[in-house]
């Protein structure tokens, strides 16, 4: 099971007389640690606190803290005290024996913390720095010795799942002689409201969860409403999904959330079968993760059990309540013993899985080697497709249960290679968007959703409707080229990260998807039509005339509005992944070959976006460009890191609600992992960034 760990550091005493004595950090550290330790609040597994400690001991503690953790472990690093910068602008966290003349050896360097975070396996890391504008010290905030802290640049690093919260990103001196202005004895506003938020005030949607984003939003609103001198800051780096700090599991303690309209209508429907189906949905909500909805579902089931005029429906509601209550009773019995058993089972399963993977890896390596030797000897085929052939042979071998003799692999591989080469040569070429000039002797058709082609000239003869398939295109209202993705099954997910698991089969209806990301030029027309909103980032890009580049700084609602304006919609997460991977489980849109700068714009190699379609060698099997790199792309679904565990196999549309909307594809400043076709991410729907855009999709009529 993932653990929750915190390292709390506060400093009030300084041997350097140039660093003023503080009172609040010690109280802040103590109270914040208590909130994290409390079983009724955050229930962290381990909280370690240090107040007025020397730098050598603290550096050891920090290194121990970030080492030896698992990917899913939550790490919270909290510091309260003075922040100091040297002449080059580097940030240092001042502690008891810090000497401003020897900062590198006597203070905690931000670079030291960042590197430890980069090397930590944890993908859920939170830094909280209560180093604030000393002009607001009358309210209990701390001072930094000179200048802006530059938190965004200081702690970015190369790791994943990193969130930095600060009381403010700008600090300055506010001294009166040798004394800091204000009352030093109270806790800082920032820490005070973080604690209040954790105690429950930040759970405004009543779902029982308090995420880092919710906690920051609550603290921010409370602080800016009290003082104009302090503006908290938050920076997220490659955050994947929600980072939950507190999870309440008691339905009775959570305020109810209104049921979805269609479910509420079904409960009151006059048709008995409809109400029976509604009871089943309520039962699922009652067992679900959203406690606010569970509360509402419980009340609705109780009312149905007491008042429904159908005896059968009332009994079903009573049974649903009873089954959930029995589960809750079972959960309460000997929790410690059950947890120990689950942990033992998990470790055993992990050992079995590691052993299986090791055997599979060795077996595959032997098979690949044998296939390579036989293929090179008997067919002289170029080795570029040897590895896929070997993998396919292994897959066929597993499915049939037949053990292939080593001498037979080369012959089978040769036949498969011939078929593959023949098959690829017969695939239709990627569609080319052209505008032919019609004449009286020529009939031109545009492939469209309609089943009857429309002739350009009145003298055109009737021709059969073309069969839609890979390579079919249509032109959208905004002159965008749309690509046809046939109906059928594909493999979704991967075994790399938990939110991509389990790998599962999904069947989708046929749909259309944009060949490219929506560009500045396309979005500008929507703005001119009064249908799409502007932000300062969008407006600047339009003025810079990067019209062929993807539009960025668009939040989810703006992206959704554009797609609606052109009679399309945002793709579902499943549609996006199928359009990127095809049906053969590709690692990247172009296949399984390694990434390079001729296939996509990534890894900050260019430093910004590029015009859409610049990397034709990196297109997907359906002809879609830039599905890896360039910009992250919004999808329609709400994001839930556990959704794949319960996702339907037919046309999944994602969770019914959530805090974050899904993102796919990675961007120009992301590294290898983010551009994998199965990689998932989530973001506040109001988020706008210079590496975030979208493309649209359309269902068939």
Which tens digit of pLDDT belongs to each residue from 521-566? 999 999 999 999 998 788 888 887 789 999 999 999 999 999 999 9
State the average pLDDT for the chain: 76
How far, in whole angstroms, is CA 697 from its chain's centroid?
21
User: Which of 110-124, 194-208, 342-356 has maximum average pLDDT?
Assistant: 110-124
Q: How far is CA 696 from CA 6, 524, 588, 590, in A?
A: 42, 16, 20, 20
630-652 tens-digit pLDDT: 999 999 999 999 999 999 999 99
Higher confidence at residue 505 or residue 594? 505
Structure tokens at 534: 């502007």
What is the rounded CA–CA span in Å between residue 187 and residue 11? 13
Whole-angstrom Cα distance, residue 554 to residue 663?
Answer: 13
Helix or strand run (H / E) with residue 697 = strand 697-699
What is the band of 369 on the pLDDT scale with cuts at 50, 70, 90?
Answer: low
**Strands, E assignment, 181-229:** 209-211
Higher-confidence residue: 654 or 235?
A: 654
Q: How far apart are CA 431 and CA 473, in angstroms?
A: 7
Residues 6+ apart with CB under 8 A from 206: 254, 255, 256, 257, 291, 292, 295
The secondary structure of 326-375 as a DSSP string is HHHHHHHSSHHHHHHHHHHHHHHHHHHHHHHHHHHHHHHHHHHHHHHHHH
Helix (H) / strand (E) containing 391: helix 386-400
In this predicted structure, what is the pLDDT of residue 466? 62
DSSP percent split of the chain into helix, strand, coil, nearest 5: 40, 15, 45
> Which residue has 């309609």 as its token pair?
450
Q: How far is CA 324 from CA 278, 317, 321, 329, in A?
A: 16, 11, 5, 9
Q: Which residues contact 149 (CB under 8 A, 6 or more apart)?
A: 83, 85, 91, 129, 131, 166, 169, 170, 171
pLDDT at 332: 46
Q: At which residue do the structure tokens 């062929």 appear? A: 548
The reported pLDDT for the residue numbered 575 is 97
Q: Which of 185, 94, 204 is nearest to 146 (CA)?
A: 94
Read off the tokens for 144: 């930094």
| C-alpha pair distances (Å), 114 with each of 29, 100, 321, 567 | 21, 21, 49, 46
Compute the distance between CA of residue 9 and CA of residue 16 in angstroms, rounded to an integer.
18
As given in the structure block, the two tokens for residue 341 are 């058993």
- Bridge partners for 481 per DSSP: 475
Digit-coded pLDDT (tens) for 71-87:
889 999 999 988 887 76
CA proximity to 549, closest of 608, 605, 604:
608
Q: Would you say the pTM of this structure is higher than 0.85?
A: no
**pLDDT band at residue 55, thresholds of 50, 70 and 90?**
very high
Higher pLDDT, 25 or 568: 568
Q: What is the pLDDT of residues 330-349, one digit of tens each?
A: 444 455 555 556 556 656 65
Percent of the chain with pLDDT strictly greater than 90: 37
Count helices and strands in the chain by DSSP H and E runs: 18, 24
What is the average pLDDT across 585-598? 91
Q: Which of 21-25, 88-92, 329-333 has the highest mean pLDDT?
A: 21-25
Tell which wins on pLDDT, 516 or 176. 516
Residues 6+ apart with CB under 8 A from 83: 91, 92, 93, 94, 129, 131, 142, 144, 145, 149, 171
Q: Among 485-499, 513-527, 669-683, which stretch is predicted with the lowest mean pLDDT?
A: 669-683
Q: Which CATH entry fits the domain spanning 4-247: 3.40.1350.10, 3.20.20.10, 3.40.50.1460, 3.40.50.2020? A: 3.40.50.1460
Residue 304: per-residue pLDDT: 93
Q: Rounded distance, CA 200 to CA 209, Å?
A: 9
Instruction: Give the percent of the chain with pLDDT over 70.
Output: 68
- What is the rounded distance in angstroms from the CA atom of residue 339 to the CA atom of residue 337? 5
pLDDT(661) > 90 = yes
Those residues with Cβ within 8 angstroms of residue 399's Cβ, 6 or more apart along the chain or in another chain: none
In the numeric block, the tokens 């300055």 are attached to 172
3-state DSSP assignment of residue 439? strand
- Residue bearing tokens 């209560």: 130
Q: Would you identify the CATH topology of the domain 473-699?
A: 3.90.1580
Distance CA 677, CA 61 (A): 38
Highest-pLDDT range among 183-192, 234-243, 314-323, 335-344: 314-323
Strands 660-664, 504-508: pairing is: unpaired
Which has the higher per-residue pLDDT, 669 or 338? 669
């Amino acid at each position: 099971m993932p653990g929750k760990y915190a390292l709390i550091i506060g400093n009030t005493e300084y041997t350097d007389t140039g660093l003023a004595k503080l009172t609040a950090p010690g109280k802040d550290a103590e109270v914040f640690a208590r909130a994290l330790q409390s079983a009724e609040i955050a229930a962290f597994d381990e909280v370690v606190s240090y107040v007025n400690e020397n730098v050598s001991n603290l550096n050891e503690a920090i290194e121990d803290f970030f080492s030896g953790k698992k990917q899913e472990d939550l790490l919270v690093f909290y510091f309260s005290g003075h922040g100091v910068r040297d002449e080059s602008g580097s940030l240092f966290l001042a502690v008891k024996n810090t000497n401003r003349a020897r900062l590198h050896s006597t203070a905690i360097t931000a670079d030291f913390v960042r590197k430890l975070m980069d090397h930590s396996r944890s993908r859920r890391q939170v830094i909280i720095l209560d180093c604030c504008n000393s002009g607001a010290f009358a309210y209990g905030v701390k001072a930094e010795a000179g200048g802006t802290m530059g938190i965004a640049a200081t702690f970015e690093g190369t790791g994943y799942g990193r969130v930095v919260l600060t009381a403010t990103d700008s600090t300055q001196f506010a001294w009166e002689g040798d004394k800091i202005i204000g009352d030093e004895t109270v806790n800082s506003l920032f820490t005070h409201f973080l604690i209040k938020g954790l105690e429950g005030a930040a759970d405004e949607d009543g779902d029982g969860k308090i995420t880092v984003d919710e906690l920051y939003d609550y603290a921010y609103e409370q602080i800016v409403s009290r003082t104009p001198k302090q503006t908290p800051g938050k920076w997220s780096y490659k955050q994947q999904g929600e980072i939950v700090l507190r999870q309440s599991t008691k339905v009775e303690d959570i305020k109810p959330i209104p049921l979805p309209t269609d479910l509420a209508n079904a409960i009151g429907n006059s048709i008995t079968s409809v109400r029976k189906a509604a009871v089943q949905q309520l039962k699922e909500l009652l067992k679900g993760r959203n406690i606010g909805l569970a509360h509402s579902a419980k009340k609705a089931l109780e009312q149905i059990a007491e008042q429904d005029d159908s005896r059968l429906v009332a009994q079903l509601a009573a049974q649903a309540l009873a089954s959930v209550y029995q589960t809750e009773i079972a959960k309460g019995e000997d929790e410690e013993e059950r947890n120990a058993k689950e942990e033992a089972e998990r470790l055993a399963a992990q050992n079995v899985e590691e052993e299986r993977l090791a055997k599979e890896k060795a077996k595959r390596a032997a098979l690949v080697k044998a296939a390579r030797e036989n293929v090179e000897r008997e067919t002289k085929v170029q080795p570029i497709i040897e590895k896929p052939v070997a993998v396919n042979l292994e897959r066929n071998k597993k499915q049939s249960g037949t053990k292939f003799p080593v001498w037979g692999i080369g012959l089978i591989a040769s036949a498969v290679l011939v078929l593959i080469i023949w098959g690829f040569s017969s695939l239709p070429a990627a569609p080319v968007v052209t505008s032919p000039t019609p004449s009286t002797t020529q009939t031109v058709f545009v492939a469209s959703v309609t089943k009857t082609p429309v002739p350009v000239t009145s003298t055109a003869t009737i021709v059969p409707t073309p069969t839609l398939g890979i390579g079919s295109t249509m032109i959208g209202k905004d002159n965008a080229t749309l690509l046809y993705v046939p109906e059928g099954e594909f493999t979704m997910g991967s075994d790399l990260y938990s939110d991509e698991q389990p790998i599962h089969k999904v069947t989708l209806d046929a749909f259309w998807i944009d060949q490219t990301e929506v560009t500045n030029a396309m979005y500008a027309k929507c703005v001119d039509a009064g249908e799409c909103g502007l932000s300062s980032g969008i407006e600047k890009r339009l003025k810079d005339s990067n019209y062929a580049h993807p539009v960025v700084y668009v939040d989810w609602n703006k992206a959704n509005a554009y797609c609606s304006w052109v009679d399309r919609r945002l793709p579902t997460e499943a549609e996006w992944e199928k359009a990127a991977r095809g049906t053969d489980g590709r690692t990247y849109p172009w296949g399984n070959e390694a990434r390079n700068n001729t296939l996509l714009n990534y890894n900050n190699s260019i430093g910004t976006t590029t015009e859409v379609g610049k990397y034709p060698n990196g297109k997907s099997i359906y002809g879609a460009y830039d599905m890896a790199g360039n910009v992250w792309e919004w999808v329609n679904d709400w994001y839930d890191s556990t959704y794949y565990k319960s996702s339907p196999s037919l046309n999944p549309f994602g969770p019914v609600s959530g805090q974050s909307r899904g993102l796919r594809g990675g961007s120009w400043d992301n590294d290898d992992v983010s551009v994998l076709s199965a990689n998932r991410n989530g973001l506040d729907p109001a988020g706008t960034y210079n590496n975030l855009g979208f493309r649209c999709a359309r269902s068939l009529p």
